[in-house]
Chain A
C-alpha cells in the first residue's frame, strides 16, 4: 500500500476522545495517513468505567479497541511516546523518543490531568490522584493495608473514588470537601443534604467546609491538617479536586490558551492555527471545558466531518450527568439551578426513604428546564429527553417525579412517545429512530446486538435502560413476543415451563432438563424449576433437595457463619403459654438465640446443621410444625386481635388469619408471600403492606393485593370490597394460583402486578370476572396443592435416610463445624462478625 501521497493526520493523545476521532474518521474515509502518539503505555481505554477495574474488570476489558484494531486499520501508533514539541513552521511534531513526524493536520486530544492543589506535603507517599490505570493500581496497593483513607474533593469523581475505597475495604473512608456541601456544581443544597445522609449510611464520613492546610507525616502521609485547626489521621489520600486541561504543548507552540487553561477553539474545533484542532477535555470552547465523554465524542465527530468536507459544527453541550455509585442514585440534568422568576420548581422530598427530586419547569408550565434526582434516578433518561426535545409537559408535571397516582393509570408508555430524532445515546449520537429501525429492519433484539449494530450504549452506558425499553417497546408494537428466558439452560420463560411441565406430567428436575433444557443446569434454573414443580404437584421438597436453594435444602435459614435458624409455625401469631415454654426449653437446651420476628413468631438462631433434626423432633412432638420461613412460600399471616379483644374490632381477624395461614402454608411460590388481617380500618396488622391483606369492613372483608415492604415499599391495591369469607377465599385461591403460574422467578407480587399489561384492572377481570375462563382450573389446582400439604420437618424427623443428610461432615457426623463462632450479647449469643 502506498500511503506516502496521502495527507497525514497526526493525533496527539490516545485517550477516549483521540481514539473516537480515529474511529469516526475511518468510518468516513480512508484518504488519510493516520499517525497517533500516546503518552500512556497502553492503548486507549474506557476511563469512565475505570472504577470497574476494582470490581474485577481487567485492563483488557476496559480497552476501547484492542491493539490489533489499530494495525488492521493502518494506523501508525506510537505508545509510551509523548509529543514534546510542535514545530508549526515546518508542520512537524517531535516526540520524546526523537521521532520527527510531519503533519498536514494535527489533532490535539491530550485530555486533562488531575488538578493537584499546592498544599504543603502533597509529594508524600500515599498521596495519589485518580485518572489512569496506573493510578488505580497504586490506590489498590495502598488500600490493601490502609486503616483509614480520605478523598479530597466531594464532587462527582471524588465520590466515585470514595466509593472505590469503601469497596476496597478501607475500614474508615473520609471525604473532605472545601465547599459547605457535596457536589456543589451539579446539585442543589437540599439534594446535597439528602446525598450526604445516604452516603453516611453507606459508611462514608463526610467533612464539609474544610480547607486543607497541610499534609503531615514522615515521608509518608499520616494526617491532614485543616485551616480550622482540626486534624484527620489517614494513611492514604486520593486527590480529586478538579481537572487541568493539558494545554502545555499548545502553549509552547504559541496557540491561544485560556486564562485558566484549555486550548481555545472555534465552532469547527480549530485552534488559532487552522491546521491544528483540539478536542476532548483539553479544548476550551466558548469559555467552557467539557469534562465528560459525550461532548468530547461530539467534538471528534466535528473534526472528522471538517476533514471530509462536512459542515458539522460544535455548538455547546448539555452537562447532564448521572453518578454511578451503587446504592445511591444521583443525577442532575438540564439546568438544575435555574430559579424564580425564570422557572418554577416542583420538589419531592422523602427523608424516610432518602429520596429527593426537584424539577424546574418554565413559568408557563409548558417545558421542563432541568432538575436533580437523589435516591431514585429511574426517571433520569426520560426527564433528560423531555428537556432536550422540548416535549410539552402533561397537565400535571408533578407526575414526572411522583409517577401517576390514583390507581390504574398506565405507566411506561413513555419512551415510545419520544420524537424520532430524540438523541438517546448522546455518546454515540444514536437517535430513537435509529434504534427502532435497527429493531424493525435488522432484527436487533438485544442491547448487546444494538451495541454491535450502531454502538448505542457503548459510551457512558447511561442510556442502556432506555435502549432496552425501546427495543421491547418496538417489539411489542410489532406484535412480537418478548420472553424472559430462565437462564442459559432453558430457552423458556417460567410461565411457559409451568405449562410445559404440567402438560407433559414432568415431576423431576432431571426430566425437565432432558426434555426442555440443555447443559447441566445451574443455581438459577434449579430452584426455579423446583418452585414450578412444587407449584404443580406440591411433592415433598426434600426428595429433590440438591436443586433447592440452601434454605430449602436444609429446611432452615442459613445465617452468617453457616449456622441455621429455626422457625416453627405460629399461625396468626397466636401462641399458648405451653407452646412458649416448649420453645423456651428447646432454645435453652440447644443454646439458641431467640428473637420475635416481624411476622409475629419466634425465630431461634445459631443451630448447627447436625442439631436441626433433634431440635425439630422435640418441637414436632410438642405439636409444632414447620414455619416454612426458609421457603419461597407463605410466611405468616399477621393479625391484630380484632373483635375478640379490641373495642374497635368489627370481625374476628385472628380466626381468619389462622384459617388462611393454615390453608396456604407450605405452598411454594415464585417468591415469598406475606399476609395480614386487620379487624378494622385502623389497620394494626399492616395488611396493606402485604402480598395479600384483608381488612374487616362493616359488611364483610376488603381484599388488598400486591403490596410489599422491603427495599421498595408499595401499598397493596384494593381487589375486592365487602365480600364474605367464602368469596374472599375463592378470590384468594384464584389470585395466588394465577401468581404462582405466571410470575417470573423471584418476582414478588408487587413487581408482578407492575409488569402486568393492564395492571390492576386486568387482574381484577381475571380474578373476579373470570375474563380468561380459567378460574375453575385455578381453584382446582389450588385445591390439589392444599391437599398435598405435609410438614417437611415431620417427614425428615421420621426418616433416618433423610436425617442422615443433616451433618456438616459426611465422614464425621458427630463433629460440628469448628469455624462457627459465637460471641455473647445481652445475655444471649450472636455469630461473630464476617
Chain B
C-alpha cells in the first residue's frame, strides 16, 4: 500500500490478531476500522467498518474474496451481501454508496493504519 498524501502511521494491533483471509475491527482514533488480512495474496486492506447499506457496523465480519478477470479484492457485508472493492471502496453491486479505504502497512508483526 502506497500513498502520496501525508499520513500518520498509527500502530493498531498485531498481525496475529487478524485471522488469515478474514477481518477484524479495530478502534482507531475513535473510529471503527475494518482490517483485512488477505493472507492468500499476502495483502492487507483497511476500510470503514460501517456498511453504508443499512448503517451496520459489520464489514469486518464479512467474507473477503475477489471478482472478475482482474481479481479485484472485495468484501461482502454479512447482512445483505453488498460487496465493496477493497482497493477503491466502490460498491460492486451497482449501488451508489461506497466506503472509505485507509492506507495500511505491516512492519515487524504490527499493523499500522495511515491516518490523514
A and B: real partners? yes
* Contact status A550-B19, CB under 8 Å: no
Digitize A425-451: 1 where CB-to-B-CB distance is under 8 Å, 0 elsewhere.
000000000000000000000000000
Across-interface contacts of B81 in A (CB, < 8 A): 523
C-alpha gap A819/B57 in the complex (Å):
7
A800 interface residue (CB < 8 Å to B)? no
B 1-57 contacts with A by CB, 8 A:
12-13, 17-27, 32, 35, 38, 40-41, 54-57
Supposing A810-B13, A810-B35 touch, asked if A554 and B56 sit within 8 A by C-beta, the answer is: no
- What residue in chain A is nearest B97 (Cβ atoms)? A56
Q: Which of A489, A546, A549 contacts B19 (CB 8 A)?
A: A546
* Contact status A522-B66, CB under 8 Å: yes
Across-interface contacts of A546 in B (CB, < 8 A): 19-23, 63-64
A812 interface residue (CB < 8 Å to B)? yes
* Contact status B61-A550, CB under 8 Å: yes
C-alpha gap A561/B55 in the complex (Å):
8
* Contact status B65-A519, CB under 8 Å: yes
Across-interface contacts of B21 in A (CB, < 8 A): 510, 546-547
Across-interface contacts of B65 in A (CB, < 8 A): 489, 519-523, 525-526
* Contact status A834-B54, CB under 8 Å: yes
C-alpha gap A70/B66 in the complex (Å):
37
* Contact status B25-A808, CB under 8 Å: yes
Q: Which of A55, A520, A550, A819 contacts B66 (CB 8 A)?
A: A520
Supposing A520-B41, A810-B17 touch, asked if A550 and B62 sit within 8 A by C-beta, the answer is: yes
Across-interface contacts of A547 in B (CB, < 8 A): 21, 63
A553 interface residue (CB < 8 Å to B)? yes
Across-interface contacts of B12 in A (CB, < 8 A): 810-811
C-alpha gap A811/B112 in the complex (Å):
12
* Contact status B57-A520, CB under 8 Å: no
C-alpha gap A510/B65 in the complex (Å):
12
Across-interface contacts of A519 in B (CB, < 8 A): 65-67, 71
B87 CB to closest chain A CB (Å) equals 13
B35 CB to closest chain A CB (Å) equals 7
C-alpha gap A57/B64 in the complex (Å):
25
Across-interface contacts of B18 in A (CB, < 8 A): 810
A189 interface residue (CB < 8 Å to B)? no
* Contact status B67-A545, CB under 8 Å: no
C-alpha gap A127/B18 in the complex (Å):
53
Known: A489-B65, A519-B67, A550-B78. 16 other contacts (CB 8 A): A488-B68, A521-B40, A521-B66, A523-B65, A526-B65, A546-B19, A546-B64, A547-B63, A549-B63, A558-B58, A558-B61, A810-B18, A811-B17, A811-B26, A811-B27, A820-B57
Across-interface contacts of B25 in A (CB, < 8 A): 808-810
* Contact status A56-B96, CB under 8 Å: yes
Across-interface contacts of A810 in B (CB, < 8 A): 12-13, 17-18, 24-26, 35
Chain A interfacial residues counted at CB < 8 A: 37
Across-interface contacts of A525 in B (CB, < 8 A): 65
B62 CB to closest chain A CB (Å) equals 7
B109 interface residue (CB < 8 Å to A)? no
Please give the residue numbers on chain A whose beta carbons come within 8 Å of chain B beta carbons, in ascending order.
Answer: 55-57, 488-489, 510, 519-523, 525-527, 545-547, 549-550, 553-554, 558, 560-562, 805, 807-812, 815, 817, 819-820, 834
* Contact status B61-A553, CB under 8 Å: yes
C-alpha gap A812/B74 in the complex (Å):
26
B23 CB to closest chain A CB (Å) equals 8
B67 CB to closest chain A CB (Å) equals 6
Q: What are 8 A-B residue pairs whose CB atoms fall within 8 Å in the complex?
A: A519-B65, A522-B74, A522-B83, A526-B65, A545-B19, A547-B21, A549-B63, A550-B58
C-alpha gap A306/B81 in the complex (Å):
52
- Chain B, interface size category, equals 35 or more
Across-interface contacts of B79 in A (CB, < 8 A): 558
C-alpha gap A810/B26 in the complex (Å):
5
* Contact status B63-A523, CB under 8 Å: yes
- What residue in chain B is nearest A834 (Cβ atoms)? B54
C-alpha gap A526/B21 in the complex (Å):
11
- What residue in chain A is nearest B58 (Cβ atoms)? A562
B89 interface residue (CB < 8 Å to A)? no
Across-interface contacts of B57 in A (CB, < 8 A): 562, 808, 817, 819-820
Q: Which of B35, B64, B94 contacts A55 (CB 8 A)?
A: B94
B50 CB to closest chain A CB (Å) equals 8
Across-interface contacts of B24 in A (CB, < 8 A): 805, 807, 810
A356 CB to closest chain B CB (Å) equals 30
B 77-103 contacts with A by CB, 8 A:
78-79, 81, 83, 93-96
* Contact status A520-B73, CB under 8 Å: yes
Q: Which of B19, B56, B93, B95 contacts A562 (CB 8 A)?
A: B56
B104 interface residue (CB < 8 Å to A)? no
- What residue in chain B is nearest A513 (Cβ atoms)? B40
Across-interface contacts of A55 in B (CB, < 8 A): 94
A449 CB to closest chain B CB (Å) equals 19
C-alpha gap A55/B79 in the complex (Å):
19
Across-interface contacts of B83 in A (CB, < 8 A): 522-523
C-alpha gap A523/B66 in the complex (Å):
9
C-alpha gap A560/B58 in the complex (Å):
10
Among B35, B61, B62, B65: residue with most chain A CB under 10 A: B65
- What residue in chain B is nearest A546 (Cβ atoms)? B22
C-alpha gap A56/B53 in the complex (Å):
13
C-alpha gap A519/B72 in the complex (Å):
9
B95 CB to closest chain A CB (Å) equals 5
- What residue in chain B is nearest A518 (Cβ atoms)? B71
C-alpha gap A402/B116 in the complex (Å):
63
4 closest A-B pairs (Cβ-Cβ)? A546-B22, A522-B65, A550-B78, A523-B76
Supposing A510-B40, A546-B21, A810-B17 touch, asked if A522 and B63 sit within 8 A by C-beta, the answer is: yes
C-alpha gap A744/B65 in the complex (Å):
21
